[in-house]
Each structure stands twice: as C-alpha cells, then as structure tokens.
Amino acid sequence: MRIEFSIDPKKLRNTNRRKQMAGIAKEPSLRQNLILAYQIESILSEGKAKDLNEIAGWLNIGRTRLFQVANLLLLAPSIQEEIIFVHNVIIEQIPEYKTREIINEPLWDSQRKMWSSLLSNTSLCQKR
C-alpha cells in the first residue's frame, strides 16, 4: 500500500505551526520516528543531502541516534504498516529502542514473530 500526498506551499503559509506541532506530538513516538526515517530516506534519494552525517548536522541530532532512527526502515513492511496505520494503544507503549533487536534480524518472517511477541508482552504489562 502506498499513500501519497502533496503540499500546497500557499496553504502552508496560512496554517498555525503550533497547531501542526501539537498534532504531530500526539502521535506515538515510534510512529514519529518511522515517519522521520522515511523523510530521511527521501532527502537522501533526492540528493538533497550527501549522507546521514549531513542530515544529523541539520537536525542537531547525534549520528548514532540518526542511524538508529533510519534503521527503522529495515523492519518488515507489514510491521512498518502497522506502526504507521494501526491505531493501537499498545503501539503507543512501545519505545523505539525495543525494536532494535527486531531490526537486527534479517528475515522478515522472524521479525514478524518477534514483533508479535513484543506486542503480546506489552499488552500483558498493560493489563496488570
């Protein structure tokens, strides 16, 4: 599934930036980080930056942290879709660092099993 949208710069001038930021802040941090990873990928693929180090400088983020965020793109596509599109209270409870072990697994089937386990463990913690 691919969702595309375009932004009209004229409309951007009339929007309330604080209201926009407040809307973004309501999203789970894992979702925010995955969206940032896609933005980073887009900047690189369009040649707007030469590498992640340059983007890290622009964002005033440490290289290591930026690489951690960018690595979210190594998650299986079905996991990424769930993070972005599913309005699940459990996803709000998952910190990004908990996905790092999953990211290090190269097989998507194994990633999905690890993700399911993480979701069930998080839901068990939530019920207590």
Q: What is the pLDDT of residues 16-56, one digit of tens each?
A: 555 555 666 778 999 999 999 999 999 999 999 999 999 99
Measure CA 122 to chain center. Answer: 18
Question: Does residue 86 lie within any of the structural domains?
Answer: yes
Biggest CA-to-CA distance, the chain: 49
Give the residue, 87 or 15, on which the prediction is more confident.
Answer: 87
Question: Does residue 93 lie within any of the structural domains?
Answer: yes
Question: Does residue 96 lie within any of the structural domains?
Answer: yes
> What's the DSSP call for residue 4?
-
Overall domain count for the chain: 1
Mean pLDDT for 108-122 is 94
Please give the model's pTM, rounded to 2 decimal places.
0.76
**Structural contact between residues 62 and 94, judged by C-beta atoms closer than 8 angstroms:** no
Q: Which domain holds residue 92?
A: 9-127
DSSP string, 73-113: GGS-HHHHHHHHH---HHHHT--GGGGHHHHT---HHHHHH
